[in-house]
Structure 1
Amino acid sequence: MFSFINNIRIKTAAQSLLTLCILLLVPHASAEQRPNIILIVADDLNWDDLGAYGNTGVNTPNLDKLAKNGMRFDNAYLTASSCSPSRASMITGRYPHNTDAEQLHWPLPKEQITVSQTLHDAGYWTAAAGKWHLGEDTKQRFDVVRESKYGIDEPSGSAQWLPLLNMRPKEKPFFLWLASWDSHRPFYQGKYPHKHTQEDVRLPPYYPATELYMNDFAAYYDEISRLDEYVGKVVSTLETQGVAGNTLIIFVADNGRPFARDKTTLYDSGVKTPFIAHWPDGIAKGSVSDSLISSIDLAPTFTALANAVTPASFEGRSLVSLFKNPSAPFRDFAISERNWHDFEDHGRSVRTKQYRYIRNNYFDLPATPSADTVYHKTWWELTRLFEQGALTQQQSRPFLAPRPKEELYDLESDPYELTNLARNNQYQAILQQHSDILDNWIEETNDFIPSFRTLDDFDRKTGAYAPNRKRPRPSKMEMYQASGRY
Structure 2
Amino acid sequence: MLRLALLAALAFVPSAADAADPPNVVLIIADDLGDGDLGCRGHPHIRTPNIDRLATQGVRFTNAVLTISSCSPSRSSLLTGKYPHETDAEQLHWPLPASNETFSERLKAKGYFTAAVGKWHLGNAVKDRFDLVVEAGQGGFVLPTGPDGQPMKMTAGANPSGCEDWVPVLKNRPQDKPFFLWLAALDPHRAYEDDTIPNPHTAADAVVPPFLPDVYGTRSDLAAYMDEVTRLDGYVGEVLAELDRQGVAENTLVIFMSDNGRPFPRCKTTLYDSGVKTPLIARLPGVTPAGTTSERLVSSVDVSATILDLCDAGPLKKGRGESFLPLLNDPAGPAIREYAFSEKNWHDYDASQRSVRTTDYKYIHNLAPELPNTPPADAVRSPTFVAMRHLRESLTPEQAAIFTPGPAEELYDLSADPHELNNLAADPAHAAALNELRGALAQWRTDTADPSPPLRSPDEFDREEGTPLPARQRPRSNKATMFPN
The TM-score normalised by the length of structure 2 is 0.89
SS of the aligned residue for 2:249 comes to coil
SS of the aligned residue for 1:59 comes to coil
Flag the structure with higher helix content. 1
Q: Does 1:263 align with 2:268?
A: yes
C-alpha distance after superposition, 1:229-277 (max 9, x if no partner): 0000000001111101101100000000000110000000000000000
C-alpha distance after superposition, 1:383-429 (max 9, x if no partner): 1211xx1111011011012x100000111111111100001121112
Q: Is the 8 A contact 1:39 1:178 kept in 2?
A: yes
Q: 1:391 aligns with which of 386, 390, 395?
A: 395
Q: Does 1:344 align with 2:350?
A: yes
Q: Is the 8 A contact 1:155 1:190 kept in 2?
A: no
C-alpha distance after superposition, 1:134-186 (max 9, x if no partner): 11112111001100139962211100101110111111100000000100001
Within 5 Å, which residues of 2 pair with 1:87-102?
87-102=75-90
Distance, in Å, in 1 between the alignment partners of 2:474 and 2:19 is 47
Q: 1:405 aligns with which of 396, 403, 408?
A: 408
SS of the aligned residue for 1:342 comes to coil
Distance, in Å, in 2 between the alignment partners of 1:405 and 1:451 is 15
State the partner residue of 1:13. Answer: none
Number of residue pairs aligned between Structure 1 and Structure 2: 443
Q: Is the 8 A contact 2:346 2:352 kept in 1?
A: yes
SS of the aligned residue for 2:385 comes to helix
Distance, in Å, in 2 between the alignment partners of 1:145 and 1:210 is 42
Q: Identity of aligned pairs, percent? A: 48
SS of the aligned residue for 1:245 comes to helix
**Deviation of the 1:473 alpha carbon:** 2.8
State the partner residue of 1:243. Answer: 248
SS of the aligned residue for 2:257 comes to strand
SS of the aligned residue for 1:204 comes to coil
Distance, in Å, in 1 between the alignment partners of 2:435 and 2:138 is 44
State the partner residue of 1:444. Answer: 447
**Deviation of the 1:472 alpha carbon:** 3.9
State the partner residue of 2:370. Answer: 364
SS of the aligned residue for 2:96 comes to coil
**Deviation of the 1:90 alpha carbon:** 0.5
Unpaired segments ≥5 residues, structure 1: 1-29, 477-486
Q: Is the 8 A contact 1:294 1:334 kept in 2?
A: yes
Q: Structure 1 stretch 198-207 or stretch 127-136: which is displaced more?
A: 198-207
Q: 1:466 aligns with which of 466, 469, 474?
A: 469
SS of the aligned residue for 1:127 comes to strand
Q: Which amino acid in 1 is paired with 2:441? A: L
Distance, in Å, in 2 between the alignment partners of 1:451 and 1:220 is 33
Unpaired segments ≥5 residues, structure 2: 1-17, 140-156, 479-485
Q: Which amino acid in 2 is paired with 1:240? A: R
Q: Is the 8 A contact 1:206 1:395 kept in 2?
A: yes
Q: Does 1:196 align with 2:189?
A: no
Q: Which amino acid in 2 is paired with 1:228? A: D
Distance, in Å, in 2 between the alignment partners of 1:243 and 1:280 is 10
Q: Does 1:332 align with 2:338?
A: yes
Within 5 Å, which residues of 2 pair with 1:7-22?
none
Q: 1:190 to 1:85 in 2, by over 3 A?
A: farther
Within 5 Å, which residues of 2 pair with 1:38-437?
38-149=26-137, 153-188=158-193, 191-328=196-333, 329-386=335-392, 389-401=393-405, 403-437=406-440
Distance, in Å, in 2 between the alignment partners of 1:134 and 1:327 is 35
Distance, in Å, in 1 between the alignment partners of 2:341 and 2:78 is 14
State the partner residue of 2:24. Answer: 36
Question: What is the alpha-carbon root mean square deviation over aligned residues?
Answer: 1.6
Q: Structure 1 stretch 302-311 or stretch 258-267: which is displaced more?
A: 302-311
Q: Structure 1 stretch 426-435 or stretch 267-276: which is displaced more?
A: 426-435
Q: Which amino acid in 1 is paired with 2:71? A: C
State the partner residue of 1:12. Answer: none
**Deviation of the 1:282 alpha carbon:** 2.5
The TM-score normalised by the length of structure 1 is 0.89
